[in-house]
Structure 1
Amino acid sequence: MTETAARADWGAWQASWDRQQEWYIPDREERFRVMLDMVEALVGPEPRVLDLACGTGSISARVLRRFPGAVTTGVDLDPALLAIARGTFEGEPRAEFVTADLTDPAWTEKLPHGGYDAVLTATALHWLRTDPLRTLYGQIAGVLRDGGAFLNADHMPEPSTPRINEAERAFRHARQERERATGVQDWADWWRDVAADPVLAGPAAERFTIFGNPIEGDHADGEVQPASWHAEALRAAGFAEARQVWCSPADALVLGLK
């Protein structure tokens, strides 16, 4: 394989990741906007940010674009997503990426900084079950400076409203089916393309070994909780204040202030 043939178009991979994610979360950018508004309001315009379960670096990209004086550390275990992140941010001194398993008790020892102003994560922690997530919240409190902010944007369904939930789910699925008919990729389609790419095929195979094959489904072990549960868990983990600061019918953004 020639050097030219082995190159990847990292910008194209980032754009396709965003399109695939927006198929599931059409108000994704609004969610990011509120997240960064809260970062600026609470810790200022030059934050040191931990991008937790960073994937391709979606949060890091938006942090650095909005805050030129910011620095970010992305943490993830997925070799394929980290390959895209590292390729995208190659030569960017404000961003660095760490391979770590968030269920490993020692994962924080791999971080390059002793403390962070903000820890941000989106559409990621629903992969964890309840007890490991409680443990993780305590570890996050440990890497935040006093006055630092943690923001988690994720699927947080409200169990007390089953009819509303079902109506939203049916409406969302109908929209997704219409968009699929126009060629929009879903999660499995996107990973098929990753596995077929000559640069990413190796990292994708590693990813499938760690998490399972996303083409066949790989979310089976996770759990979701309502925003109120997350706020209570954050307070129990040592955060001084915690509450929901944004929501859509199916997702929410919960903020914990240390």
Structure 2
Amino acid sequence: MARTARLAPGAAPQGLRTADVARGRVGAGEDTSPAPRRSPQRRSYVVANPWQEGLDSTPGWRDPLPHREYDAVLTATALHWLPAERLAALYAELRDLLRPGGLLVNADHMPDDTLPDLTKRLLDRARTWREARYAAGAVPSWSQWWELAAADRALAPLVAERHRIYPTGHSPEWNPPVSWHLAALTEAGFTEVGTVWRGGADAAVAGVR
């Protein structure tokens, strides 16, 4: 059976098991419908808060997952909340979740250390554009967004939980260059590593078990 992966949350493609590590959650999805038959799809999905489940501190975060092996592990703009030592260890834990030939993709803020001046110019331009939109009232700023969320009846409990975990309002973000991630993936035991996408200072790195 051909195995494919897509960088999106939700149900997995047919016959594919995926684990999705996103902002504030760990999810595992499965679609076991045989491709040649038009039988009803059978899917399972489990969601957990990685900070409550210990993703930032212990391998025990894997215990609630419904399977011991996956074809793909996908994560986007989530792991920069972890310190270097924990992220390096997590890469090895994610490798252990994968079947032979399985794929890990991590998309995050990963500047290209071979283009330091260009990266700085791109970041400065993006910052100027955002600040102009904030000043014009086109969109709320980061702090304004959280104020709106805290005033929302449904989101207020989640905002309170965030403040409990990060009393200062945010994690100490750590955004190493893409070369660090590639080295860490290699050290974690992936047989192939590389950059599969880049947009400015953001990138997606992949590791194949």
Give the TM-score category using the shorter length.
Answer: 0.7 to 0.9
Partners of 1:183 and 1:161 in 2: CA distance: 32
- Pair 1:137–1:37, CA change in 2 (3 A): closer
**1:227 aligned to which of 134, 156, 178:** 178
CA shift for structure 1 position 182: 3.5
Partners of 2:123 and 2:179 in 1: CA distance: 21
**1:173 aligned to which of 127, 143, 149:** 127
Q: Give the count of matched residue pairs.
A: 191
Which residue of structure 1 aligns with residue 49 of structure 2? 76
Which residue of structure 1 aligns with residue 206 of structure 2? 255
Partners of 1:37 and 1:51 in 2: CA distance: 9
Query: Is the contact between residue 121 and residue 152 of structure 1 (CA under 8 Å) also seen in structure 2?
Result: yes
Compare the two structures and name the one with the higher helix fraction: 1
Within a 5 Å distance, the mapping from 1:21-32 to structure 2 comes to: none
Partners of 2:15 and 2:120 in 1: CA distance: 42
Within a 5 Å distance, the mapping from 1:107-256 to structure 2 comes to: 107-180=61-134, 181-214=136-169, 218-219=170-171, 221-256=172-207
Partners of 1:242 and 1:179 in 2: CA distance: 38
Query: Is the contact between residue 118 and residue 149 of structure 1 (CA under 8 Å) also seen in structure 2?
Result: yes
Compare the two structures and name the one with the higher strand fraction: 2
Q: Say whether residues 1:49 and 2:18 are aligned partners.
A: yes
Task: Give deviations 1:201-257, integer Å, cap 9, x for gaps.
Answer: 22321221112353xxx13x2311222221221121111111000101210000111
Please give the TM-score of this superposition, normalised by the length of structure 2.
Answer: 0.78
SS at match of 1:52: strand
Partners of 2:7 and 2:20 in 1: CA distance: 16
Percent identity, aligned pairs only, is 36
Please give the TM-score of this superposition, normalised by the length of structure 1.
Answer: 0.65
CA shift for structure 1 position 191: 1.7
Structure 1 gap segments, 5+ residues each = 1-34, 79-98
Aligned residue identity for 1:51: D
Partners of 1:77 and 1:187 in 2: CA distance: 22
Within a 5 Å distance, the mapping from 1:92-107 to structure 2 comes to: 100-102=53-55, 103-107=57-61
